[in-house]
C-alpha cells in the first residue's frame, strides 16, 4: 500500500455535527487512521483533528471505500457509539457495483471470516475457525456485465462485503485486492457506505445519516 498511496486532497464533507458526535462523508482512497510508515500518516482522523481537536475514532472504513463515518467528540460519546457497533444496534447500508449478473434479487451470505495470514491484509472464508459474518443484499439494477446492489452487513468483520460478494462469484468492481482483473477498468473500488442509523449517545434519539454514492 505504501508505494501507491496517493490520498485525495480537499475538504472533508461534514454531514452532521453537534457537541457529542461528528458525521462525515469519507472520500475513497483516504485511510481512516494512520498506517505504518511516514508516507501513511495522512488519514481521515488526522485531517479531522485539525478542525475538531477532541475527535475520537468509533469505527473504520477501508481505504478505498467512501461514505458515512461517525466519530465521537467526547469520551462518553465514543464509548456509547462504539458499544452500538459492537452490539449490532447500528444499521448500515452500502451501495456496490458487482461483476456479473447476480441472482436472485435478494438474499443473504452467511459465511465465517478470518484473516488469510500468508496473504495479509486479505481475509478468507473459514468454516472451522472463522468468526460469524452475515450480509444481506438487494439487487437494484442488473445487466450482462454488472449488478448494482445494496448490501446490508449484520456483522462488521474486516473486508466482509468484499469477501462475501467474492464468495458469491460477483466481486466488487475495481477492488485491487479481491478483483484485481477489474482494477484498471475503474477509477476506484465501487463500494460506498450510503447510510448509517444509530442512537444519539446523549438523547438516545434515533438518527439517520446518508451520503449519495458518487458512482
Stretch among 2-6, 131-135, 202-206 having the lowest mean pLDDT: 2-6
pLDDT of residue 12: 97
In this prediction the pTM is 0.95
Calculate mean pLDDT across residues 155-174: 97
pLDDT band at 144 (very low <50, low <70, confident <90, very high): confident
Can 110 be counted among the known catalytic residues?
no
Calculate mean pLDDT across residues 10-25: 97
42-81 confidence digits (pLDDT tens): 999 999 999 999 999 999 999 999 999 999 999 999 999 9
Is the per-residue pLDDT at 3 higher than 90?
A: no
pLDDT of residue 77: 98
| 115-146: b (≥16 Cβ within 10 Å) or e | beeeeeeebbbeeeebeebbbbbebeebeeeb
Catalytic one among 25, 62, 64, 175? 62
Calculate mean pLDDT across residues 130-134: 98
Is the per-residue pLDDT at 2 higher than 90?
A: no
Amino acid at each position: 500500500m505504501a508505494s501507491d498511496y496517493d490520498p485525495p486532497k480537499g475538504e472533508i464533507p461534514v454531514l452532521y455535527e453537534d457537541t457529542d458526535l461528528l458525521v462525515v462523508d469519507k472520500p475513497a482512497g483516504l485511510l481512516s487512521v494512520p498506517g505504518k510508515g511516514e508516507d501513511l500518516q495522512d488519514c481521515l482522523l488526522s485531517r479531522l483533528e485539525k478542525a475538531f481537536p477532541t475527535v475520537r475514532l468509533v469505527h473504520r472504513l477501508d481505504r478505498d471505500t467512501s461514505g458515512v463515518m461517525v466519530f465521537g467528540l467526547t469520551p462518553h460519546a465514543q464509548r456509547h457509539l462504539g458499544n452500538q457497533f459492537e452490539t449490532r444496534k447500528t444499521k448500515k447500508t452500502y451501495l456496490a457495483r458487482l461483476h456479473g449478473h447476480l441472482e436472485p434479487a435478494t438474499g443473504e451470505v452467511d459465511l465465517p471470516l478470518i484473516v488469510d495470514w500468508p496473504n495479509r491484509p486479505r481475509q478468507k472464508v473459514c468454516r472451522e475457525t472463522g468468526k460469524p459474518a452475515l450480509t444481506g443484499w438487494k439487487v437494484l439494477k442488473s445487466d450482462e456485465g454488472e449488478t448494482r446492489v445494496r448490501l446490508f452487513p449484520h456483522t462488521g468483520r474486516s473486508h466482509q462485503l468484499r469477501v462475501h460478494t467474492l464468495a458469491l462469484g460477483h466481486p466488487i468492481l475495481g477492488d485491487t485486492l479481491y478483483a484485481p482483473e477489474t482494477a484498471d477498468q475503474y477509477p476506484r473500488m465501487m463500494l460506498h457506505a450510503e447510510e448509517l442509523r444509530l442512537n444519539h449517545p446523549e438523547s438516545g434519539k434515533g438518527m439517520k445519516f446518508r451520503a449519495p454514492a458518487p458512482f
